Amino acid sequence: MIEIDLNAPTIPPDQRVWRLFPGSGYQFLEDFREQRVGFLDVPGFEIPEGKFEDAKDLVARVAQSQHIRDFLWSQGPEAKPRVPLAEFARSRATQGRTRIANAASNFFEEAKKGDFVVLPEPTFLSTIWVGRFADNRTVKAFFPRRYGKTAVPARNIRWLGSYPENTISTPLSRALRHQHPFTLLEKSLHLEVFALAYGSFVYKDHFAATVYNDKRDFLDADGALLGAISRLSAAALRSMDNGEDGISDADLADILLRNPPIEYTCTQQVDIHSPGFTRYTAATAVALVISAVAAGLIGLAEHSSADNIAEDLPKMVVTNTASDADPLCTAMVSEASARIVKALGTDRTWALCKDAREAQHRAGLRSSAVPRKK
């Protein structure tokens, strides 16, 4: 039996995405990753009790941290700065201090567990990082090279992975280069961040999935295979919405030659570099059906045969083990996938399986949905 795990989390409708800049000259990058944290450039900063907005001495706390930072830079990381907060009570609320105070308020108080964090690397490294706040705690982190044993208040971050910058959009790339310490990313970029992190997801009325090509030689034949899967997925969902029993054999040629209604199509982003991807986003579950069928063909090609395909097809099941999975959505994708293989029949399904196997071996084709032999 082949199990297809959609691997598509449901993203909360109020989900926020923050951009964290890793210090002047990107100096904190390695410490963020190694310590699994994020922090601002505020060594020795004293977190106020209660809410940040009620702290009358927030500017003084920032000024104290700036003094500690400058002292350690000038005297060396082994120095031990001891300057009481009271000495900074009359510090001016300069533009720079106000900006850091606002960033600290957002970072330590406004950002919540589960919020996404996007982190740029230097341009020459051509990579960005995506993570999520692991909890709501403030912890201690260290930047030994400059600050020695002086702690920097930090947040635990679960880093999900790094992604080549040439695979992200120009607006997202530009947004990451602003050197403000910590800011919200504009909502128009959220879907792209979710897709980088998870490949497949459900967010409000958006459904997204990705088919990757990890090797060289992505051919036009591979694009045609995905196009056929896309049209079949649209037809299967449309037949369900229309209350039809399924897709008839007589309809197959028309389905593959004609464009589906616009509401059953996907916005498609394609990057066929090595590695590359084809990302589908839609207002219906058609994107998830595409990923499920692609994964199913790859899984059957690997674990079945021409002799066993008729027996294995009815046993193919669709699940979703990702967080907050919607069982109704999973059932819809499962039914649509079953309608497709039923309409194709064993011979045509096996022919597509062989195409998928060739694409997997040559181009590293794989879906954000994961096929497993059960």
Please state, in angstroms and rounded to a whole number, the distance separating the CA atoms of residues 76 and 114: 37
- The amino acid occupying position 329 is C
Tell whether 175 is covered by a domain. yes
Domain check: are 89 and 214 in the same one?
Answer: no
Q: What share of the chain is helix, strand, coil (3-state, %, to 5)?
A: 45, 20, 35
Q: Are 63 and 165 part of one and the same domain?
A: yes
Per-residue pLDDT, 122: 87
The pLDDT of residue 138 is above 80 = yes
152 and 52, same structural domain?
yes
pLDDT exceeds 90 at position 73:
yes
Q: How far is residue 66's CA from residue 161's CA, in Å, rounded to a whole number? A: 32
Query: Do 163 and 267 sit in the same domain of this protein?
Result: no
Q: In angstroms, rounded to a whole number, what is the distance separating the alpha carbons of residues 29 and 37?
A: 10
361 and 230 within one domain = yes
**In this predicted model, what pLDDT tens digit does every residue of 168-181 receive, in sequence order?**
888 999 898 887 89
Q: Are residues 277 and 317 in the same domain?
A: yes
Pair 49, 168 in one domain: yes
Q: What are the tokens at 174?
A: 């530009």
The pLDDT assigned to 360 comes to 94
Stretch 352-362: mean pLDDT: 95
Banded pLDDT at 337 (limits 50, 70, 90): very high
Beta bridge partners of 282: 207
Residues 53 and 80 in one domain: yes
Whether 261 and 152 map to the same domain: the answer is no
Residue 195 belongs to a domain:
no
Distances, alpha carbon 14 to alpha carbons 103, 109, 114, 127, in Å: 20, 16, 11, 27
- Answer yes or no: do 147 and 233 share one domain: no
How does DSSP assign 81-99, residue by residue?
Answer: ----GGGGTT----HHHHH
Same domain? 55 vs 162: yes
Which domain range does residue 211 map to? 2-10+203-373
**Tally of domains within the chain:** 2
Same domain assignment for residues 31 and 176:
yes
- Residue 106 DSSP one-character state: I
17 assigned to some structural domain:
no
State whether residue 5 is helix, strand or coil: strand
User: Residue 196 falls within a domain, yes or no?
Assistant: no
Within-domain flag for 192: no
The predicted-structure confidence for 251-308, as pLDDT tens digits, reads as follows 888 898 888 999 999 999 988 777 889 999 999 999 999 999 999 999 999 999 989 9
For residue 197, tell me if it sits in a domain: no
C-alpha 63/C-alpha 71 separation (Å) is 12
Residue with structure tokens 């990381």?
Answer: 77
Inside any domain, residue 188: no
Tokens (6 digits) for 168: 């992200």
57-66, 176-185, 204-213, range with the lowest pLDDT: 176-185
pLDDT at 102: 96
Give the span between the Cα atoms of 47 and 106, in whole angstroms.
Answer: 13
